[in-house]
């Protein structure tokens, strides 16, 4: 992850990234729940389950670039494979793509796992 992002934004930019992650992730969770409830067989359950999984990963900020690219792919797939109004799925895909480019922010599991660590030399 550190190779993908030079830093994990904190402060106001980090709060904005947290809100962006919460909006994209909760939209994916909602879309997954609604789609799963209307599925008729197990083949139709695959995309809602994938949407739920990647939405949960985006909410907590775990493997954000990979979850974002997969979630955007699933949302574009849903938008073009189901007839009707595709704009909510396209909007979610755009939010996921922006998270891929910007990063998860300091308030994420990615920042805790892969962010730069400070070594306190006074404890040595």
The residue extents of the domains of the chain are 11-113
Burial readout 15-38 (b: 16 or more C-beta within 10 A, e: otherwise): eebbebbebbbebbbebbeebbee
Contact 62, 53 (CB under 8 A): no
Does pTM surpass 0.85? Answer: no
Please determine, for residue 121, whether its predicted confidence score (pLDDT) is greater than 80. no
User: Is residue 120 very low, low, confident or very high in pLDDT (cuts 50, 70, 90)?
Assistant: low
Nearest alpha carbon to residue 109 among 61, 68, 53, 57:
61
């Amino acid at each position: 992850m550190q190779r993908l992002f030079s830093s994990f934004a904190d402060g106001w930019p980090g709060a904005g990234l947290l809100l962006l992650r919460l909006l994209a992730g909760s939209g994916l969770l909602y879309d997954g729940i609604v789609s799963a409830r209307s599925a008729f067989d197990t083949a139709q359950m695959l995309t809602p389950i994938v949407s739920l999984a990647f939405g949960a990963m985006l909410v907590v900020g775990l493997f954000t670039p990979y979850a974002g690219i997969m979630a955007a792919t699933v949302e574009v797939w849903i938008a073009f494979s189901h007839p009707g109004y595709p704009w909510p799925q396209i909007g979610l895909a755009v939010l996921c793509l922006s998270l891929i480019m910007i990063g998860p922010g300091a308030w994420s599991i990615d920042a805790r796992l892969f962010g730069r660590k400070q070594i306190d030399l006074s404890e040595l």
